[in-house]
Structure formats: C-alpha cells, structure tokens
Amino acid sequence: SQQGEEDPQALSIQEGENATMNCSYKTSINNLQWYRQNSGRGLVHLILIRSNEREKHSGRLRVTLDTSKKSSSLLITASRAADTASYFCATDVESGYSTLTFGKGTMLLVSP
C-alpha cells in the first residue's frame, strides 16, 4: 500500500481562499516533502520538512508535520489561479538507503 496518502483527492476553491491538503503515512520517516505537478509536466519540489521539525514556511506555503499522528498538511494561502495543479506528498523511510514514496496526489482547482 502507499506510504503517503493525500486527502482530499480533489479540491476546488476560489481565488483568494486558502487551500489545505493533508498527507498521512504509515512508517517512521526521515523527512516529508511536497511536490507540485502541472498537467502533463514534471514534478516541482516545493518544500521539505524533516522529522524533527514541526512547521515550515516558504512564501505562501505553510507545511506542518505531526510525527505522532504520522500526518502532514500543506496550506496555500491567498490562492491564485496559477496554483491550479496536483500536489503530492513524498516520504522516505527511516532505514538504510531510502527512495521516496509518493502519494496519489490532491488535484487543486483555483477558479478566478
């Protein structure tokens, strides 16, 4: 089964509103990352939060991590139509050489 699972699968909001996406995972991690993918394009890294961090900001992005609940959230404030994309969380496991495991993503639609 997937290590990371995003929720909701799809989110539709108006410009200016905030968008919140959640990610849950199963095993202990070293870090959790969020990526964005515009339709038909490659993924773009947004932010990385390590297991010993609880919150991180980058511009209009705010990521939280709760390792006790094995969950993370991505908040996009004051959303814009250009934020329309799919958002994926990715986790690595806490042992040996680690690859990233991606969730199925949240598709965000921001309407003007």
Binding-site size for other proteins (CB under 8 A) equals 26
| 58 sits near other proteins (criterion: CB under 8 A) | no
Residue 59 interacts with other proteins (CB under 8 A): yes or no: no
Spell out the residues 6+ positions from residue 72 whose beta carbon is closer than 8 angstroms to its own.
22, 23, 25, 32, 34, 49, 63, 64, 65, 66, 89
CB closer to other proteins out of 95 and 112? 95
Distance of CA 80 to the CA centre of its chain: 17
Q: Tell me which residues touch other proteins (CB under 8 A).
A: 2, 30-31, 33, 35, 40-45, 48, 88, 90, 92-93, 96-105
